[in-house]
Amino acid sequence: MKKLVHLQFLFLVKIFATQFLTPSSSSFAASNPSIAPVYTSMTTFSPGIQMGSGEEHRLDAHKKLLIGLMISSSSLGIVILICFGFWMYCRKKAPKPIKIPVDSLNLVILSFLIVSYVFQVLFMIICFFYNDLYKMFSNEDAESGTSSFSMFMRRLSSIKTQRTSSNQGYVQRFDSKTLEKATGGFKDSNVIGQGGFGCVYKASLDSNTKAAVKKIENVSQEAKREFQNEVELLSKIQHSNIISLLGSASEINSSFVVYELMEKGSLDDQLHGPSCGSALTWHMRMKIALDTARGLEYLHEHCRPPVIHRDLKSSNILLDSSFNAKISDFGLAVSVGVHGSNNIKLSGTLGYVAPEYLLDGKLTDKSDVYAFGVVLLELLLGRRPVEKLSPSQCQSLVTWAMPQLTDRSKLPNIVDPVIKDTMDLKHLYQVAAMAVLCVQPEPSYRPLITDVLHSLVPLVPVELGGTLRLTR
């Protein structure tokens, strides 16, 4: 009997060592990298943003689950042994020993052993599926504070809907006929945006869900690549200043990306549309800049591998009903390290493309910082990044503004008339200096987006999100 118990203990130890003390092959799968958010001890966020509490806390959860498995299995074995020992003790101390047939005694012992082995097998199953269980309960929803039970129920319910999950995250697959009906047959009256490969339509998926549907005509391989790239990246990214992906659909001639609907449209519409920025106060503009910086910081600093958007511009910054800003359109985005940063086809929008990328094809996170600086100038001056002077001549906003941004006597005169004289001049000078640094021709002179973010925070009222918070 002692030998059997000893063998059982050794067997459990071996299973534990094999499963938990050996490196998991998935941990070193360099051939199939994926974006996984990684958090620092300090994160910044706007109202409504829910971030994770740090990589160290993920490890704590990992350890807690591991310790729980060890304690539960050990406790079970101890309880079984105590029960068996107590039964043997009572049998020996009884005043009139009950004669039990040998066959019955063997049956009792066999029953204890069977129960013990059954629980060992269950423990083995939990061990082998440990990583999957852990991922299920601590994946993306851990970032948004969703409970493990809610996460489990969502995963369970997702089995009932058609989803795809290869290198991507979980993406709901829509039927093209459903999207056609939701957009009123893709009527022109429902068009809310225009892209390089198609239009964006307002859609009603049901009575409670409004969405934006981007219809991409598969006229080229480039269009197909951008569609696949956007769906793959957005399915892995979850942040309150990044547009949320609701699903996708794909056919031979067309592909569709379904996003959350942003009621106020794009920043480009607000600044350069019919309203000419009249709805955007100074503080509102600073909030939009701060939200955009937070979205970029998430891509650059908290994604592994880091993501370079590559096409940041005012038309790709969308605003919800409360003017919270979210970065959209990830068709051109790249993951650092997955693609060679110097072997990427030149893409982007004139006026926002950094000079080193335009001239030498060198792409870094500082390329996004340059584009952010141009957006900051748009918010400050109310001008487009490139203005047409004549049919054959254009002028860059950066080239025109740079000499005046550093002249304190001229700067107040070139500010957008809508916000002129509505801000503290010290704040105006600070934002102008920030924009000048962001659009420096030399990438190394540009600040990190994290530094820009920290400079913007004091310029935004607390009620609009101008605060830094520590997460535990």
Catalytic positions, written as ranges: 311
Nearest to 384 by CA among 392, 374, 393: 374
Q: Three-state DSSP class for 315? A: helix
């910081």: which residue's tokens?
Answer: 297
Alpha-carbon distance 58 to 55, whole Å? 5
Give the list of residues 6+ apart from residue 447 with CB closer than 8 angstroms, or none.
369, 434, 437, 438
Cα–Cα dist 176/201, whole Å: 13
Find, among 5, 7, 12, 4, the residue nearest to 119 by Cα: 12
| Cα separation, 69 vs 403, whole angstroms | 66
8-40: buried (b, 16+ CB within 10 Å) or exposed (e) per residue? beeebeebbeebeeeeeeeeeeeeeeebebebe
Consult the annotation and say whether 326 binds a ligand.
no
Sorted by sequence, the CB contacts under 8 Å of residue 436 that are 6+ apart come out as 373, 402, 405, 406
Structure token pair of residue 90: 């009572």
Please state, in angstroms and rounded to a whole number, the distance separating the CA atoms of residues 192 and 115: 64
Q: CA 90 from chain center: how many Å? A: 61
* Widest CA span in the chain: 115
Q: What is the distance between the alpha carbons of residues 413 and 401, in angstroms, rounded to a whole number? A: 12
Look at the chain and count its residues.
472
Q: Which residues are annotated as a binding site for ATP?
A: 215
